[in-house]
Each structure stands twice: as structure tokens, then as C-alpha cells.
């Protein structure tokens, strides 16, 4: 599975670990020529990572052009919306600050402000994973690795990344294939059925649910035997980390700097999943002394905390392994959140009974309305932030930042299922009271570990079994990721890829006769 996804750097002569990284050099001139021709025909102009990180600097003329595109269709102009400054209402103008909410103590039960950026503002899929998909595919196109006229892009995922990959593939005029567990929400599959070229062939359902990532890998190993398939394994794709390091980090910092001047950035919290979003924490930690990176997982499958296993329903955070792109040795806290809590709060936040109780607690109507923008993994992030505040003893000047990766609109089918599964067919006022008191205001610090050297080593070493024994990564390359110098080198790649994207755009413009 690693043959086409992990490529050597220039001339194949690199320091340990650097052979894991995609190159910014042109790999195949003929493949590149095919991509240039396709993009010229479709009038596709790619944004650089710097432009996505700083969309407010995009020229007004370009913004006006983008604004004429329907954000919900595979229009090439939507590539320029793969950032955090979109508006929920579809307004063509950019939001000066990423749309977000600062969760008050009345809701969270802690004094620390918890700032949550909303991912359902992203185009086409209503989730931030479209950024990861663009980050992974664009560098392969502009370096002549991926030929959109010939290759199929295979997107292994537990849902949103596969949808993002299919959306980006459609724009780029290539065939996208989604590989995801069969028990994910019906909304995910309904979206894919509308977007893929051939639903029978291009939606591959693997056994299980969130925790069954190994089954996804096995299917991708089969697909990788066909040279026409290029596997974009988000768990091993370092551009996934880099997209969030470059783009998500800037959005988080803009929200933070807009808060009170006496506040300090205490922590960035994100469910692990593929660990891509955690890359934003690396950037923030470099610039904000004392900022801690908090990685979150489902308590029913406590891989980081207890080397455990199991099944859970926090859709969006696959597990039972440590992603290759997780900078474990830079992670400060590991938190386990139960799907009993996330399922219950999802029901409470969406019910009239739950909303009434929140209002009685002093939570403002506007804040209650914003809870519709929290999907299951978003609620997980909120709970982990609350647990982190309590564990670290944070106060009113200590800001915790996190993201709502998607909104509740992706889980409508889950409400009936959860009511039947957990609440005897109907979610009542009694259920809402019990859920809010126990899982929100009563959230404790159990299953929360502040990581020292031994804890980080334990988590790092667990990755050996997936990446060396199962996926064939060289042991020296695997171990090289322990050193922060590996990650420092990685973070320079965005500048090189931006140069490659700029050159590629010049080629396509020339091919169009401009």
C-alpha cells in the first residue's frame, strides 16, 4: 500500500524519514503534461496553501469571480473556498473572522473560554475534511505523480475525508473512489451516491464502523495492486498534516487574537482521527508559549490511553491505531470521551426538552441555536476541552481552542436510531436532564492523561505494529518521526509546493493561450 502513496525526495538521497514525504520536484513530465491539458480544458486555477491560509488577501476581482459559484456543486471556483472564512448563509463575501462560538461557563461548566470554529461552512461537503483532501491531491497533480486523465483517486476514510476526496476529484476531472465502513451515517452514503461516477463501483463499503480502520487498509491494499489506482491514505499522508498546519492554524489564531488581550492560548484540542487537524496544534504551539496539544479518542476504543480496542459511534474519528502523521512526541495530553456522552448530548442539543433545560441554566438562545453546528465528533471535541480545563486547572483567562468538524445535519438519521438504541424509542425530558447533568455539567477528569516522556513513548511505540509490521514502513523512517527535526523539515514543504502550484498554474494558462 505504500508504493504509490509514500514517495522519495529528490534523487532518492534524503535524511532518515524524509523518504516518507512527497516531493515538490517533478516526478513524471508526461503525467504532468496530461494534468496541465486537463486543467487547461476545465479552466482550473489552483489556490496555493498561502492563499487558503490568508483568503482575506485574495484580490477583490478573484473573490467576485468565486462568489458567483454555487458552493454546493463541483465548480472549480470552490477550490478557493477550501478555508475557514466562508459564511454559513452562502454569502459571496468572506467572513472577516472564521465563524465560531465561544462557549460560556453556563454551558460548559468551566471558567475557561472554549472557542469552537465551525467546519460546516466548508464548500460541497459541509465539513473541514475537504481541506485535507485538497492538501493531499494538489501536490500530487502539480508534481506529475497523479494523472487526472488516467488515474483513479482512492479515498480511505470513515466518512468526511472520502466525501472531500470525491468532491475534489470531480472538480479535477478524475474518478474518485470512496472506501468507508458500511455502518456510517446514511447521510454520508446519500451524498456519495449523488457525487460519484458509478455508485456500484466507486463506493466501497468495508465491514464495521468507526473502529474498523484495519479493514479499510486491507481493501486499499487490494486496490493498490491496480496501477491505475492511487491511494490517498489520510492516516499516512503528511500533506494532510501540512494543510491544517498551514491553513487551520491561521484561522484559529485569528479567532484567538480577536479575544480579550489579557487572554492566553492554553490548549488546542482535537480528536485524533487521522491526526491531520492536530497539525494545527504544532503551528500554534510554536508561537504561543505554554499552549498544549490535546489529542482525543473514544473511550470505547482507548488506543492512546490504554492500548485498548473496541467499537464506538463518534463518527469521524477512526482508531485502533496511531496515525503515521501524528506528531506524538509533541502531544501533551490524551483524553478519552465516551460515545454514551456524545450520543446523549447530540440528542439533548437537538431536542426541545434539552434546549429548554439549557435556557433555564442561563444559556443564551443564540448559543443554543449554534449547537446545531455540532456533529458527533464536534461534541466530542467540546467535551474533551471541558475535561482538559478541569484537568489542567485552567481559569477565565485560559483559552481553549477546538473545531466543530461538521454539523448535526450529517446525522439526522442517527436521531431515530439512537432513540431506539439508548432511550426506549423516545428521548424524554427526564433523559435530557440526566444527560446534561451527567455528561456536560458533570464531566470529570477520568481518562485524561497529562503525557510525560514515558507516556509519549508508549503511544509512539504502538504505531510500530501498524506501520512497520503491517504497512511496510522502514523502521528507520518510522523512528525518525520521534525527532522534532523531522517535523521541522516537513513544515518547509508548503512553501515548495506553493512554488510548484504557481508554476503549474502558469503552464495551464499558457496551454489556454493566455
Grid cell digits, residue 133: 483532501
209-230 average pLDDT score: 86
pLDDT bucket at 318, cuts 50 / 70 / 90 = low
Grid cell digits, residue 347: 440528542
pLDDT score, position 35: 96
Angle at 278 between CA 298 and CA 306, to 5 degrees: 35
pLDDT tens for 379-426 read 999 999 999 999 999 999 999 999 999 999 988 888 888 989 899 999
Does residue 221 belong to any structural domain of this protein? no
pLDDT bucket at 9, cuts 50 / 70 / 90 = very low
Does residue 301 belong to any structural domain of this protein? yes
Residue 3: pLDDT over 80: no
Task: Look at phi and psi of residue 9 and say left if phi exceeds 0, alpha if psi is from -120 to 50, else beta.
Answer: beta
pLDDT tens for 159-196 read 789 999 999 999 999 999 999 888 777 888 999 999 99
Does residue 333 belong to any structural domain of this protein? yes
pLDDT score, position 210: 62
What is the CATH classification number for the domain harbouring 402?
3.40.50.1100
pLDDT tens for 21-67 read 878 899 999 999 999 999 999 999 999 999 999 999 999 999 999 99
pLDDT score, position 259: 96
pLDDT score, position 240: 97
pLDDT score, position 202: 95
Q: Compute the distance between CA of residue 357 and CA of residue 107 in angstroms, rounded to an integer.
A: 11
pLDDT score, position 162: 93
For residue 472, give the 3-state DSSP assignment: coil
pLDDT tens for 460-483 read 999 999 999 999 999 999 999 999
pLDDT tens for 228-283 read 999 999 999 999 999 999 999 999 999 999 998 999 999 999 999 899 999 999 99
| Three-state SS sequence of 10-73 | HHHCCCCCHHHCCCCCCCCHHHHHHHHHHHHHHCCCCCCHHHHHCHHHCCHHHHHHHHCCCCCC
213-220 average pLDDT score: 85
Q: Compute the distance between CA of residue 407 and CA of residue 390 in angstroms, rounded to an integer.
A: 26
Does residue 147 belong to any structural domain of this protein? no
pLDDT score, position 315: 72
Does residue 470 belong to any structural domain of this protein? no
pLDDT score, position 271: 94
pLDDT score, position 316: 65
pLDDT score, position 184: 76
The whole domain housing 270 covers: 100-123+241-450
Question: Residue 375's closest CA among 36, 24, 127?
Answer: 127
pLDDT tens for 420-445 read 989 999 999 999 999 999 999 999 99
Residue 7: pLDDT over 50: no
Does residue 214 belong to any structural domain of this protein? no
Burial of residue 104 (CB within 10 Å: 0-12, 13-18, 19+) is: middle
Residue 148: pLDDT over 90: yes
Contact 512, 43 (CB under 8 A): yes
pLDDT score, position 6: 38
pLDDT tens for 68-100 read 999 999 999 999 999 999 999 888 899 999 999
Does residue 468 belong to any structural domain of this protein? no
Of 13 and 216, the one with more pLDDT: 216
Grid cell digits, residue 227: 496501477
pLDDT score, position 2: 36
Does residue 39 belong to any structural domain of this protein? no
Q: Rounded to 5 degrees, what are φ and ψ at 56?
A: -70, -15
Domains in the chain: how many in total?
1
Q: Rounded to 5 degrees, what are φ and ψ at 311?
A: -120, 150
Q: Compute the distance between CA of residue 358 and CA of residue 106 in angstroms, rounded to an integer.
A: 8
Amino acid at each position: 500500500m505504500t508504493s504509490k502513496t509514500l514517495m522519495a525526495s529528490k534523487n532518492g538521497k534524503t535524511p532518515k524519514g524524509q523518504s516518507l514525504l512527497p516531493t515538490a520536484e517533478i516526478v513524471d513530465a508526461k503525467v504532468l503534461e496530461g494534468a496541465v491539458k486537463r486543467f487547461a480544458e476545465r479552466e482550473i486555477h489552483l489556490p496555493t496553501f498561502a492563499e487558503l491560509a490568508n483568503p482575506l488577501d485574495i484580490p477583490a476581482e478573484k473573490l467576485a469571480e468565486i462568489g458567483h459559484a454555487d458552493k454546493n456543486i463541483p465548480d472549480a471556483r470552490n477550490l478557493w473556498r477550501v478555508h475557514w472564512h466562508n459564511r454559513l448563509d452562502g454569502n459571496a463575501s468572506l467572513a472577516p473572522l472564521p465563524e465560531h462560538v465561544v462557549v460560556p461557563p453556563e454551558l460548559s461548566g468551566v471558567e475557561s473560554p472554549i472557542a469552537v470554529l465551525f467546519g460546516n461552512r466548508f464548500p460541497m461537503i459541509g465539513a473541514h475534511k475537504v481541506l485535507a483532501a485538497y492538501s493531499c491531491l494538489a501536490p500530487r497533480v502539480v508534481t506529475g505523480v497523479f494523472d487526472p486523465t488516467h488515474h483513479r483517486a482512492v479515498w480511505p476514510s470513515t466518512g468526511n475525508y472520502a466525501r472531500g476526496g470525491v468532491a475534489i476529484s470531480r472538480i479535477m476531472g478524475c474518478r474518485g473512489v470512496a472506501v468507508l465502513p458500511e455502518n456510517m451515517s446514511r447521510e454520508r452514503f446519500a451524498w456519495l451516491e449523488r457525487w460519484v461516477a458509478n455508485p456500484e463501483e466507486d463506493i466501497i463499503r468495508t465491514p464495521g464502523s468507526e473502529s474498523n480502520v484495519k479493514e479499510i487498509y486491507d481493501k486499499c491494499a487490494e486496490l493498490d495492486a491496480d496501477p491505475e489506482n492511487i491511494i490517498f491514505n489520510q492516516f499516512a499522508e503528511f500533506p494532510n498534516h501540512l494543510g491544517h498546519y498551514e491553513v487551520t492554524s491561521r484561522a484559529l489564531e485569528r479567532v484567538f487574537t480577536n479575544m480579550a488581550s489579557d487572554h492566553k492560548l492554553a490548549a488546542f484540542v482535537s480528536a485524533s482521527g487521522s491526526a491531520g487537524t492536530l497539525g494545527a496544534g504544532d503551528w500554534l504551539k510554536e508561537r504561543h508559549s505554554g499552549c498544549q496539544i490535546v489529542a482525543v479518542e473514544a473511550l470505547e476504543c482507548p488506543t492512546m490511553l490504554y492500548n485498548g480496542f473496541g467499537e464506538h459511534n463518534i463518527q469521524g474519528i477512526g482508531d485502533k491505531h496511531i496515525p503515521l502523521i501524528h506528531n506524538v512526541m509533541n502531544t501533551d495530553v490524551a483524553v478519552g470521551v465516551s460515545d454514551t456522552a456524545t450520543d446523549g448530548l447530540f440528542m439533548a442539543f437537538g431536542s426541545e426538552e434539552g434546549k429548554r433545560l439549557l435556557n433555564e441554566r442561563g444559556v443564551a438562545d443564540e448559543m443554543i441555536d449554534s449547537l446545531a453546528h455540532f456533529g458527533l465528533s464536534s461534541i466530542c471535541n467540546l467535551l474533551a476541552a471541558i475535561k482538559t480545563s478541569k484537568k489542567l486547572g485552567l481559569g477565565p483567562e485560559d483559552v481553549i481552542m477546538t473545531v466543530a468538524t461538521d454539523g448535526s445535519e450529517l446525522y439526522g438519521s442517527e436521531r431515530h436510531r439512537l432513540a431506539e438504541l439508548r432511550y426506549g424509542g423516545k428521548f424524554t425530558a427526564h433523559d435530557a436532564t440526566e444527560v446534561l447533568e451527567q455528561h456536560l455539567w458533570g464531566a470529570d477528569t477520568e481518562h485524561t492523561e497529562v503525557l510525560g516522556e514515558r507516556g509519549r513513548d508508549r503511544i509512539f511505540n504502538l504505531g510500530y505494529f501498524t506501520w512497520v509490521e503491517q504497512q511496510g514502513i522502514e523502521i528507520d523512517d518510522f523512528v525518525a518521526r520521534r525527532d522534532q527535526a523531522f517535523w521541522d523539515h516537513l513544515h518547509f514543504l508548503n512553501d515548495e509546493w506553493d512554488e510548484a502550484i504557481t508554476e503549474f498554474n502558469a503552464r495551464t494558462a499558457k496551454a489556454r493561450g493566455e
